[in-house]
Structure 1
Amino acid sequence: MARTVGIVGARGHTGAELIRLLAAHPGFELAAVSSRELDGQRVTEHVSGFHGELRYASLAHDELGSLGLDAWVLALPNGKSDACIASLAESGAEPVIVDLSADHRFDDDWYYGLPELTRDTYAGQRRIANPGCYASAMQLAVAPVRDLVEGPVQCFGVSGYSGAGTAPSDRNDADKLRDNLMPYALVDHLHEREVTRHLGTPVEFMPHVAPHFRGITLTANMHLRTPMERDAVEARYRERYRDEPLLRVTGDAPWVSRIAGHHGVEVGGFTLSADGRRLVVVATLDNLLKGAATQALQNLNLAFGYPEAEGIPLD
């Protein structure tokens, strides 16, 4: 029998991607999509590729538990998830909850779900914090050599403007972004703190928004304790990610245009200084997919015992 799943905050870009993925998954039934703005409207009117009679509903927090669903994905802005979580707890319901916001990424009572790096720590937790998009790219770019890193890792990130959400702002204003690269939150960004905590090494992060719609390019600059050769570095990455269906290691630096609309991550462009002590690595991923919706589905698969890549189109 299919497991029932609901989405709270389904109107945004990530919500649409989640709807497509869950509707096509053989083991899940998309049973509820909550949006105040789209209340009563058919999902087919807003999500291309979706078929069915399901309609958006404006669900109050205290209604969620009464629906008796097996899982909820919370696609809400930061600071908004706790009311839903409290309501579900008060109702006595014990669904799996996947929170896409940053609200519980620093909470040891929640499983931090970056499967390629943390799946071995999953022990049946019902509450799962989905990592941030930039944070996922940074950790996957650094993890295979983390034990060799000396001092802070500097990460320069460029994201498509879909990462700024649908609420109007300078960072998703196509006119202001045209022929432009917009820096923001250059010190103490949330993802900087997130990666420092979960990777266990200091990270300095400088994010920017570009005119393209989707996709992240993350360039990580690392200083190493001991000199390395390029072939040895690449071999480390290939061995670490050898069995990961959603991660591809490339010799050349990956391009964001090649990852947009795809569910995986590309890591490559391994470049060393002449003394072998400075390493630069590039990672790309789609911020709406592997940076959000695809990773949420990986975590749902893990929670319900399905193969981790079940329902995820592999290129």
Structure 2
Amino acid sequence: MGKSIGIVGARGHTGSELIRLIAGHPALELSFVSSRELAGELLRAHNPAWQGELRYESLSPGEVAAKGADIVILALPNQKAEPFVAAIEARAPDTLIVDLSADYRFDDRWYYGLPELYRNRWRGEKRISNPGCYATAIQLSIAPLKDLLAAPPVCFGVSGYSGAGTTPSDRNDPDKLRDNLMPYALTGHMHEKEASRHLGLPVEFMPHVAPHFRGLTVTTNLYVSKPISRDQVLLRYRSAYDAESLVQVVDEAPWVSRIAHRHEVEIGGFAVSADGRRVVVVATLDNLLKGAASQAIQNINRAIGLDEYTAIPMAGPVA
């Protein structure tokens, strides 16, 4: 039987991608989309993937809980999820909640949904915290060499401006970004803290915003405790990810332009210093898909007992 699903924060870039994926999902039926700005407007007028009569609504936490959906996705800015979680837990505690913000990524009561690394932590939780986009790429880049590290990994990240959301700022202003690369939060970024917590080791991360709309790249510098060859590095990454449909290990350093609109992560490059003690790895992903919406659907599929990749197109652009 199908599951009803609602989205809070449906106007944003990630909300739009979620709607497209749900529209093509055989077991999910979109029951509501909440957006204050678009309340009353037909969903199909803003997202051609949806052809029904559903309209955006402006829903309070209590009204979301009263909807009684089987699944609720919270696609809200950081520090906005708690009232909705509290209302759902009070009125409909069996509802599966997937939170896309950082609010519960540090809460051990919630499952941290990065399946490729933490599938064995799954205990059938009804509360899933979706990882951050950069944090996903960082952790997948580091994990296969984690046991060999001699120093904290250093990660240089560049993202398209969709990662800054829809609220106007310098970091999503195309005019200010034109011919520019904008650094920000060079220490203590939320995804730095997130990756450090879940990997169990300190990670150093320096993010930047570029003029392109979607997709991110992370270049990670890894110092290892004993010399390693490039073939040995490749073997570790292929052994870790060959069985993972949404992680592709490639020989050359991947390009961010080739990952846009795709659901996979690409990891490659694998440059090794002459003394074998320094490894540089590059990872790319679409921050709106595997960095957000695709990963949410992946987690929902697992939670409702479906194949993990149901309705997630593989190895190609979104239809």
Whether TM exceeds 0.5 here: the answer is yes
Give the corresponding residue for 2:184: 184
2:295 paired residue number: 295
Q: Does 1:239 align with 2:239?
A: yes
* Partner of residue 275, structure 2: 275
Q: In the comparison of the two structures, how many residue pairs are matched?
A: 315
AA of the residue aligned to 2:231 = D
* Structure 1 gap segments, 5+ residues each: none
Conserved 8 A contact 2:19-2:49:
no
- Larger mean CA deviation between 89-98 and 285-294 belongs to 89-98
Counterparts of 1:66 and 1:237, CA distance in 2: 46
Which residue type is aligned with residue 4 of structure 1?
Answer: S
CA contact (8 A) 1:68 1:93 kept: no
Question: SS where residue 64 of structure 1 aligns?
Answer: helix
CA shift in 2, pair 1:146/1:81, >3 Å: same
Q: 1: CA distance between counterparts of 2:92 and 2:30?
A: 22
| Cα deviation 1:38-97 (Å, max 9, x = unaligned) | 001111111132221111111111112221111100000000000000011121432010
In the other structure, the counterpart of 2:113 is 113
The normalised TM-score by structure 1 is 0.99
Counterpart for residue 46 of structure 2: 46
1:57 corresponds in structure 2 to 57
* Residue correspondence of structure 1 range 80-95 to structure 2 within 5 A: 80-95=80-95
Aligned to 1:70: 70
Q: Where do 1:89-238 residues align within 5 Å?
A: 89-238=89-238
* Matched letter for residue 200 of structure 1: G
1:17 touches 1:289 (CA, 8 Å); kept in 2? yes
Distance 1:93 1:106 in 2: 21
Give a deviation string over 1:189-236, Cα, whole Å, max 9, x none: 111110000011110000000000000010000100111000110011
2:19 is equivalent to residue 16 of structure 1: no
Which aligned runs of 4 or more in structure 1 are off by greater than 2 angstroms? none
Cα distance in 1 between the residues matched to 2:172 and 2:309: 31
Structure 1 contact 65–93 (Cα < 8 Å) conserved: no
RMSD of aligned alpha carbons: 0.7
SS at match of 1:93: coil
Q: Give the letter aligned to residue 7 of structure 2.
A: I
Report % sequence identity: 61
Whether the 8 Å contact between 2:111 and 2:129 is mirrored in structure 1 is yes
